[in-house]
């Protein structure tokens, strides 16, 4: 691989600024960011140059400034046209893969739902059996408790509140 001899940071900054003298936001550039070959400028190139000089490591500044260059509009147009062809081809090839993926996901999800329904049905049946037993046992002790409380309550009312209309539920029983 052939390497280019870089100038000093100051020389590379001056050359970069000169290259971008007539470039505007929205024009295309090479290596605005070190890992993206071609991109559209979203801010004035001077902002990027200043950022490189103030924020990037000194040992990277000259290289970043050297390779950050405007892309001629005709080349950008050709690039975008070629890129569109590639993207269209990619989407065309991707579509059946995604369709297959979605079909497999749907099949798997339906299988999961069917298995889950069986498990859920078993769970609900077992839960119902458990609940029936619980409520039956609870009714026995509740009835016993209420009966004992009634005896106690009736005794208290008889001793301390003779003539009280309490019927075990309310002070205002319905009149017959």
pLDDT in tens, 68-123: 999 998 898 898 899 999 999 999 999 999 999 999 999 999 999 999 999 999 99
Among residues 129, 126, 149, the alpha carbon closest in space to that of 137 is found at 129
User: How far is it, in rounded angstroms, from Cα 142 to Cα 145?
Assistant: 5
pLDDT on residue 41: 96
Return left, alpha or beta for 168; rule: phi > 0 is left, psi -120 to 50 is alpha, else beta. Answer: left
Looking at residue 118, what is its pLDDT?
A: 96
pLDDT value of position 42 = 96
Q: Which carries the bigger pLDDT value, residue 4 or residue 25?
A: 25
Mean pLDDT estimate for the chain: 93
* Rounded Cα–Cα distance for residues 103 and 161 (Å): 76
**pLDDT tops 90 at residue 136:** yes
Average pLDDT over residues 39-63: 96
The pLDDT of residue 176 is above 80: no
Instruction: Report, as an integer, the average pLDDT of 127-135.
Output: 97
Are the C-beta atoms of 62 and 12 separated by less than 8 Å? yes
pLDDT at 114: 96
* 138 and 130 Cβ atoms separated by less than 8 Å: no
Q: Return the percentage of the chain with pLDDT > 70, whole number.
A: 98
What is the strand order of the sheet 36-40 is part of?
36-40, 28-33, 69-70
User: Which alpha helices (DSSP H) does 22-72 contain, by range?
Assistant: 45-55, 58-67
∠ CA 63-65-71, rounded to 5°? 115
25 and 44 Cβ atoms separated by less than 8 Å:
yes
CA distance 42 to 25: 6
Looking up tokens 């950050």, which residue turns up? 68
By CB atoms closer than 10 A (0-12, 13-18, 19+), residue 2 is exposed
Binned at pLDDT 50, 70 and 90, residue 164 comes out as: confident
pLDDT band at residue 150 under the 50/70/90 scheme = confident
Whether 2 shows a pLDDT value over 80: the answer reads no
User: Is the pLDDT higher at 166 or at 60?
Assistant: 60
Q: Where are the beta strands (DSSP E) in 50-176?
A: 69-70
């Amino acid at each position: 691989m052939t390497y280019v001899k870089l100038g000093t940071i100051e020389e590379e900054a001056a050359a970069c600024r000169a290259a971008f003298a007539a470039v505007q936001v929205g024009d295309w550039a090479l290596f605005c960011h070190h890992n993206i070959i071609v991109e559209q400028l979203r801010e004035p190139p001077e902002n990027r140059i200043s950022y490189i000089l103030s924020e990037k490591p000194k040992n990277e500044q000259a290289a970043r400034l050297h390779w950050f260059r405007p892309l001629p509009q005709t080349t950008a147009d050709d690039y975008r046209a070629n890129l569109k062809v590639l993207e269209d081809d990619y989407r065309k090839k991707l579509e059946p893969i995604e369709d297959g993926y979605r079909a497999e996901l749907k099949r798997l999800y339906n299988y999961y739902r069917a298995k889950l329904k069986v498990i859920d049905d078993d769970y609900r049946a077992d839960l119902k059996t458990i609940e029936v037993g619980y409520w039956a046992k609870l009714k026995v002790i509740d009835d016993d408790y209420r009966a004992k409380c009634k005896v106690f309550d009736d005794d208290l009312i008889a001793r301390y509140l003779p003539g009280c209309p309490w019927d075990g539920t309310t002070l205002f029983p319905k009149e017959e």
